Amino acid sequence: ITQEQLKELLHYCPETGVWTWLVDRGGMRKGDEAGCVQTANKKKYRCIGVFGNLYSAHRLAFLYMTGVFPENEVDHGDGNGLNNAWTNLSDVTVSRNQMNRRLASNNTSGVVGVCRSQSGNKWRAEIRANGIYKFLGAFENKEDAVAARKKAEAELGFHPNNGTDRPL
């Protein structure tokens, strides 16, 4: 699909990220919200079918706004795969996208990269970025381990939302 074809069929509102049909098409009426919500890797995304192909709405946003599809992955800054507002979307590498992950459901410390040591008497801090693992230290208290992790995240340019508990 080209940008021109897309703009003939659909309207994208960059402020809200909402897609609407500009024409009656396949049971949809002009003005109806386009697409459906699908789940991938436990996250929800809006997908839109055009010319027999299913596209992620966030990837179509790049085509609509720039004339080309994103080269890499699309990061939703707030972690909400349904928020397709233009200011929430970024074309990022896989490695960069991993720097904006939500807190895993099995995390027991409440902080990414911080856990109790196997002996249980120390707090460990670690980080992985750009395929490189780094042990940040073992600490007497959790606060020091968290501080070491947050410092390393800042130095490596992690997204401020990394490790937060947010909707899928």
Model pLDDT for residues 108-124, shown as the tens digit of each residue: 888 888 998 888 789 99
* Cα angle: 88, vertex 85, 64; to 5 degrees: 110
pLDDT(6) > 90: yes
Model pLDDT for residues 125-149, shown as the tens digit of each residue: 998 887 889 999 999 999 999 899 8
At 85 the pLDDT is: 98
